[in-house]
A and B are shown apart, each in its own frame.
Chain A
Amino acid sequence: MYRYDEFDRTLVSERVAQFRRQVARRLTGELSEDQFKPLRLMNGLYLQLHAYMLRINVPYGCLSSAQLRALARIARRYDRGYGHFTTRQNIQFNWIALADAPDIMADLAAVEMNTMQSSGNCVRNVTADHYAGRAADEIEDPRVWCELLRQYSILNPEFSYLPRKFKLALTGSPHDRAAVAVHDIGLRMYRDEQGRPGFEVIVGGGQGRTPAIGKTIRQWIEPRHIILYVEAILRVYNLYGRRDNIYKARIKILVTALGIDRFRELVDAEWEQIRATGPVIDDAERARIQACFAPPDYDRAAAGDDPSPAAGISDPAYDAWLRSNVVAHKVAGYAIVNLSLKAPGRVPGDLAADKMERVADLADRFSCGELRINHRQNLSFVDVRRRDLPVLWRALSTLELATPNIGLASDIIACPGLDYCSLANARSIPIAQDLSRHFADTDKLQQVGSLTINISGCMNACGHHHVGNIGILGVDKRGAEFFQLTLGGSADENPSLGDRLGRGLPQADVPAAIERIVDAYLALRGDDETFLQTYRRVGIEPFRAVVYEPQGTTRQVA
């Protein structure tokens, strides 16, 4: 993991002291709410429906057991005993008092965490493939570049007042687990014709009210150039991005308005200017950061373990977990294990403080004291010896963290929705709970196979509904909650935005509608076809028919 150096420590502690003074000035009235709001937002502190909400960065999803224990203490001492992992590899606490925020930030600083730029019109938490450095299919670990981009963008005065927020995502694998195509900038590693690793640079992707799949601005760039190339993109955006209309201020609007070719010309012209004179990444500093991501000392003897992970245990539930939740590791004898935060009826992404501590203990015992957060709101242990899998499975099962559903129908993304969020129009969590109970049967889950269901409580799309194989968008119709379905979205290396199925449905009708869509897929699918493959082959009409014309019944409509 990255470890703070003296510079990082000073920066973060000075920021905490500064925010402590700002909060004190707000509480005495020296600062008005209008003056204070941008300051608290720059530190990740929102005012939501019930209280202040604090969003804490987990850079590119990497978390140590010590950090998770600190989060558990914060949850217990300052919140209501739980936290919420988000689709941007952050964690949020929902019940924070303004007066406590500086102390919380100091507690975070003690474990090398911060909340800087987790809100505001600046570069947000840099996200990445949660299997970075471990995935069997990876070309190179992208985290050294993630960390350099993080350091470069934190408190960078030139990019502290962008037209709107700005999100970066990186993947070092050809299989995209980081949804890079729906970020302001996505960097996807691949090898060029000479076999050299580099990044494809994708720009102008995003979700929200104007969803867009990003466009490739540069087919391949040497990794050592990406900081300056990102700077060139940010400069063009900073200069030409709209500031007159918040709904048209994201870079995707600019890229669409100019066209990718004109946008590329502007960026390349900027890059040509700054690449000769701009800062060069110091080799020693890069080596220091790279060393932070050195793999642990693997047990070489593990390579000789029985490659059959089921050795010594015979349980269908264990087999299902192995199939769904355990992923190939690049080192023989090791595995990546996903912890599902989506047990039937649970709130997606929520974790109680007691469980955080138990997970931290398991990370110490089974995975070198580290874990990852992923954008689908689950956790991963990325260095588990295969011989430990049965013991780990039993331990996770007792914590309700071994539901065998990763990537399956009940592994649902849901934003906090109207239960917490001041922007939401409808509740997301109850729909997710209904659906996860509906798909609680492991055999049915495995029969349906790969299927992402993503739920957002408003068009801002924090629940990634546009890129769910099935997307669910909550809307308000004359004071009542309705839910619009989209089909065919995907956030992987073949990204697509979902197509709207039809008019909105009342909450009570959503599970039955999803059931009919899934049953239609099972009837239509070819050999080994996933839901998405079937949808792309047959189109939306068969699904529209089963939802809106089931045996000629009349349904309540919005």
Chain B
Amino acid sequence: MAQMLIANRLIDGRVVFRAADGNWVTDIDAGQLIDDNAVADSRLADARTDESDNLIIDPCLIDVAALGAAHEPAVLRESIRAHGPTIAVER
């Protein structure tokens, strides 16, 4: 399964994914799928630099499946991070 870099943005805590151009984006479908372990390690090292530069917190690699153009984390916890709570918000 492919991997993707996920983190929280420092300034507002929002969940972000690393895109191919190195930017951090809130849309998981715009995140870069990484199939190669060596590339994944290299991107994680880049993400740690972004962490040192105070852009993001706690970067890590998660397993993500590609369903056409959509990306879906393999684990429920990361799916909830990507898409928000599974429940309707109080109105």
Instruction: Determine whether the beta carbon of B87 is less than 8 Å from that of A347.
Output: yes
Is the Cβ of A419 less than 8 Å from the Cβ of B11? Answer: no
Select the stretch in B17-25, B32-40, B78-86 that faces chain A. B78-86
Interface size counted on chain B using CB atoms at 8 A: 24
Interface 1/0 per residue, B58-91 and A, CB below 8 Å: 1000000000000000011100110011110111
Question: How many interface residues does A have (CB within 8 Å)?
Answer: 33
B14 & A51 in contact (Cβ 8 Å cutoff): yes
Contacting pair A82 B89 (CB below 8 A):
yes
Tell me whether A430 is interfacial, beta carbon within 8 Å: yes
CB distance from B79 to the nearest CB of A (A): 10
Chain A residues near B80 (CB, 8 Å)?
49, 418-419
Q: Are A347 and B90 in contact (CB under 8 A)?
A: yes
Chain A residues near B14: list those with CB within 8 A: 50-51
Binary per-residue interface labels of chain A (99-122) against chain B in the complex, 1 for a CB within 8 Å, 0 otherwise = 110000000000000000000000
* Bound CA–CA A479/B13 (angstroms): 25
Given known A-B contacts A47-B57, A49-B81, A481-B76, A97 and B13 have beta carbons under 8 A apart: yes
Task: Output the least CB separation between B86 and chain A (Å).
Answer: 6
Looking at A27-35, A58-66, A489-497, A547-555, the stretch in contact with chain B turns out to be A27-35
Identity of the chain B residue whose Cβ is nearest the Cβ of A31 in the assembled complex:
B54
Task: Give the interface centre of A48, A96, A98, A481 by most chain B CB atoms within 10 Å.
Answer: A98
Cβ of B77 and Cβ of A97 under 8 Å apart?
Answer: no
Q: Does B3 contact A (CB under 8 A)?
A: no
In the complex, chain A residues 524-552 whose Cβ is within 8 Å of any chain B Cβ: none
Q: Are B87 and A419 in contact (CB under 8 A)?
A: yes
Contact between chains at A427 and B86 (CB < 8 Å): yes
Task: Determine whether the beta carbon of B85 is less than 8 Å from that of A420.
Answer: yes
Q: CB distance A98 to B12 under 8 Å?
A: yes
- Is A43 positioned at the interface, with any CB of B under 8 Å from its CB? no
Q: Which A residues lie within 8 Å of B86 (CB)? A: 419, 427, 430
Q: Which residues of B contact A81 (CB under 8 A)?
A: 89, 91
Interface pair B13/A27, CB less than 8 Å apart:
no
Cα separation A418 to B85 with both chains bound (whole Å): 8
Q: Are B54 and A418 in contact (CB under 8 A)?
A: no
Distance of A51 Cα from B14 Cα, bound (Å): 5
A49 close to B15 (CB less than 8 A): yes
Would you call A33 and B89 a contact (CB within 8 A)?
Answer: no
CA distance A555 to B91 in the complex (A): 37
Are A352 and B91 closer than 8 Å at their CB atoms? yes
What is the minimal beta-carbon distance from B18 to any residue of chain A, in angstroms? 18
Within the complex, what minimum Cβ distance (angstroms) separates B90 from chain A? 4
A383 within 8 A of B: no
Q: Which residues of A contact B1 (CB under 8 A)?
A: none
Please give 12 more A-B residue pairs, beta carbons under 8 A apart, in addition to A28-B54, A47-B13, A419-B86: A27-B10, A27-B54, A47-B58, A50-B15, A50-B81, A51-B8, A81-B91, A82-B90, A97-B12, A98-B10, A350-B90, A351-B90
A-B residue pairs in contact (CB < 8 Å), sample of 29: A26-B10, A27-B54, A33-B10, A47-B57, A47-B58, A49-B81, A50-B85, A51-B12, A51-B13, A51-B14, A52-B12, A80-B89, A82-B89, A97-B11, A98-B10, A98-B11, A98-B12, A99-B12, A100-B12, A350-B90, A352-B90, A419-B80, A419-B85, A419-B86, A420-B85, A430-B86, A433-B87, A479-B75, A479-B76
**4 closest A-B pairs by CB:** A97-B12, A419-B85, A51-B13, A350-B90
